[in-house]
Chains A and B, each alone.
Chain A
Amino acid sequence: MSQDTNYIPHWHRAWLYILLALLLAFLAAPIFVVIPVSFSNTSTLQFPPESLSLQWYVRLFSSARWQSSAYNSMLAALLTVCCTIPLGIMAAYGLNSIRTGLGKFISATLMLPLIVPLILVAIGIYFLYARLGLINTMVGLVAAHTMYTLPLAITMIAAGLRRFDRNQEMVARSLGANRLKAFMTVTLPQIKFSVMSAGFLTFIASFDEVVIALFISGGSNATLPRQMFNQLRNSIDPTIAAISTLLIALALIVFAAMQFLKSNEA
C-alpha cells in the first residue's frame, strides 16, 4: 500500500495524519496520565500533581494486603503458564496433523473460551467450584485461568508450527529420530519463539484477569486485579495509580519481549 498510494502528496493526507495522531493519543494518553498521578503527594486525584513524592509506592510496598495479592497473582500467572504452555503445545501439534472431522471439532471446542461471555464463564465456574469446594483456592484459579488462556496459546503456537517447515521433522525421523525425539531436537527449537511469546501472553492475560478472579478468588488467595477492582469501586486513592504504573511496566516488558522474540524468529 505504501507505494501505490504515494502518488498522493503527503500534504493531501495531512488530515489523515492529524487524525492518526489524535487517535493514538486517545489510545495511549490514559496510560501516561496514570504514571504522573502515582508520584503525587496529595491523596486526591489531581493532575498534574502539585509536587512529587513516592508516598504511594511506600504505602503500596508496606501494605500486607497488596503484597499478598500481588504474590497471589504472580503465582497464579506462573502456574497458569506452566499448565497452558505444555497443553497448548500438545494440542497445537496434534491438531496441526489432523485438520478434518474430529480434529476440526476439537479445535473449535478449544476456541470456545474466546466466544462464551467471560461473565457467564465466571458464574458457571463459581457454581461449579462452590460444589467442589474450590472457591478461593489457588488450584481452582489456575484451572480456570488455564482454560481462559489456552485458546490464545494454541493460536500462537499453531501459527509458529505453520511457519515451520515440516520436511525438517520428516528428515529428522528418516535420520533415526522417533517422533518425540524429532520434535524435541528439531521442531521445538525452531518454534521456541512462538512458544515463548505465547508464554508471555498467557502470563499477562492471567495476571490481569479480573472477572473470573472476582468470583472465585478471595480471602488469602485474592488476586491483585480483584483487590484493585474492589478498591476502585469504593475509593480511588493514588495507591491504585502506583499499582497501575507497575502494571503498565509489566505490559511494556511483555511488549518488548514479544517484539524481541518476533524479530528473532524472522
Chain B
Amino acid sequence: MTQSISMRGVRKSYGSVIALDHIDLDIRDGEFFTLLGPSGSGKTTLLMVIAGFIRADGGSLKFGDTEVIRMPPHRRDVGVVFQNYALFPHMDVSENIAYPLKLRHVPAAERRVKVEEALKLVRLDGLGHRRVQELSGGQRQRVALARAVVFAPKVLLMDEPLSALDKNLREQMQVELKRLHQSLKMTTVYVTHDQGEAIAMSDRVAVMDNGRIIQMGKPRDLYETPESRFVAQFIGESNLIPVSVTGSTVIGAGADLKVGGRIDTDSSGQGFLVIRPERIQIVKTHDGSDLNRLSATAQEVIYRGDELTVYAILTDGTEISIRCGVHHRAVEEICKPGERIDIAFHPEDSVIVRPT
C-alpha cells in the first residue's frame, strides 16, 4: 500500500544558508508530484529529507498517519532513484533488483518471481543476468526503477532521473514513467529542473526557489496563472510588459489594457503583465473587438521548423516575442525588420504579477 505524505514546517539550514524554509506540503496517496526549481532551490534537499538521507532541523513529516521525521532511511520503506542510477556494479541486474527483497528475507523462490515481474514491468525481461556495466543509460535507468519499486515501497522518490539521458530517450522515458505510475498507482515524488518534464508528467507541481515553495498546483494552472514573475519566467516562456494599475484601469506600453486573469501589484500599483508568446496574434487592422491591442516595431523573424518566432519592440521599449505557426506565410512578409506591426491578445490570456 502506498501512502500520502504530509509535511509541516520542515526546515533545514547549513550554517547561515537556509536550504528549506518551513515547508508545508501535502502529497496525496497515488499522486505523481513534482518538485520543480533551479539548482540550489532546495528541491533535492527536500527529497533527501523525505528519503531520510538528510536530517531536517525541525518540523513534521508523515507517511499516512505515521511520523517518520526521525526514522532512519532503512525503516522508511521508500524507493529511491538517483540521477546517476547508483546501481551496484558488483551485482548483476537480477541481484540488484533482488537486493531489497533479500534484506526483507523474502524466500528465494518468491524473490525470483518478483524480480521477473519487475523486469517485465520495465521491459527488460531476459536481461536479468547482464552485468550492470553492459547496459545502456536507458536500461540502467529501468533497472534502478525496478529495484526501487520491487519491494512495493510506501513512496517512490526520483531525483532528476532522466537528466543523464539524451533528448530522444528522455522523452520516451517520460512516457514510460507516466505509464508505470498509472499501472502502479504509487505515490511518487519527482525532482526536476526541467519545466517541460514537470508539466508533461505530473498530477501536481510545486515550484521551489530559495528553500520555499513559491507556487503549487496542476501544471495547467501554473502555466496559465503564474502568481509571480519567477514562476512566469521559469515555466514556459513569458513576455513581461510593465504596467501600472489604478483602480480597474491598467496602463501598459502606452495603451489602456483589459486583464481577465489574476491581478497582483505592489503597493504603488506597479506590476508586469504576463502574456505567453503563442497567445499573441499579429493583426492587420484595428477592428472593433475586445482584444487588447498594441503597436510594435518588428525586429526579426526566426524560422524554427515547427513555428515562427517574431521578435518585436513595443512603444515603451519592451522586447517581446510572438510565436505563430509556419503556415502563416504572410507573417514573414508583414514583419520585415523595422516595419510597424499591430499585435493583439485576449484579456483572459493575461495576468499581472508583482515586479519582484
A residues neighboring B (CB under 8 Å): 165, 167-168, 170-178, 181-182, 185-186, 189-190
Q: How far is the CA of A165 from the CA of B90 in the complex (A)?
A: 13
B103 & A168 in contact (Cβ 8 Å cutoff)? no
Which candidate, B28-36, B73-81, B191-199, B269-277, is the interface stretch facing chain A? B73-81
Contacts of A176 in B (CB 8 A): 74, 77, 100, 103-104, 151
B53 & A170 in contact (Cβ 8 Å cutoff)? yes
Closest to B99 in A: A175
Contacts of A165 in B (CB 8 A): 84, 86
Select A171's contact among B52, B76, B82, B90, beta carbons within 8 Å: B82
Select B84's contact among A167, A182, A185, beta carbons within 8 Å: A167
Interface: B231 (CB within 8 A)? no
Q: How far is the CA of A182 from the CA of B148 in the complex (A)?
A: 16
Select B151's contact among A170, A175, A182, beta carbons within 8 Å: A175
Distance (whole angstroms) from the CB of B34 to the closest CB of chain A: 19
Interface: B72 (CB within 8 A)? yes
List residues 61-83 of chain B with CB under 8 A from any CB of chain A: 72-74, 76-80, 82
Q: How far is the CA of A174 from the CA of B68 in the complex (A)?
A: 13
Contacts of A189 in B (CB 8 A): 90
Q: Answer whether A178 and B72 are a contact pair too, CB < 8 Å, given A167-B84, A170-B53, A170-B80.
A: yes
Where chain A touches its partner, the secondary structure class is helix
Interface: B335 (CB within 8 A)? no
Q: How far is the CA of A168 from the CA of B53 in the complex (A)?
A: 12
Interface: B88 (CB within 8 A)? yes
A171 & B80 in contact (Cβ 8 Å cutoff)? yes
Q: Answer whether A174 and B84 are a contact pair too, CB < 8 Å, given A181-B103, A190-B89, A190-B90.
A: no
Q: How far is the CA of A40 from the CA of B251 in the complex (A)?
A: 106
B80 & A177 in contact (Cβ 8 Å cutoff)? no
Contacts of A171 in B (CB 8 A): 80, 82, 86, 147
Known: A170-B82, A172-B99, A174-B51. 16 other contacts (CB 8 A): A168-B86, A170-B80, A171-B80, A171-B82, A171-B86, A171-B147, A173-B53, A174-B73, A175-B99, A175-B100, A175-B148, A176-B100, A176-B104, A178-B72, A181-B74, A190-B89
Q: Answer whether A174 and B76 are a contact pair too, CB < 8 Å, given A165-B84, A167-B82, A167-B84.
A: yes
Distance (whole angstroms) from the CB of A205 to the closest CB of chain B: 28
Q: How far is the CA of A144 from the CA of B61 in the complex (A)?
A: 50
Contacts of A185 in B (CB 8 A): 99
Distance (whole angstroms) from the CB of A64 to the closest CB of chain B: 47
Select B88's contact among A168, A170, A174, A178, beta carbons within 8 Å: A168
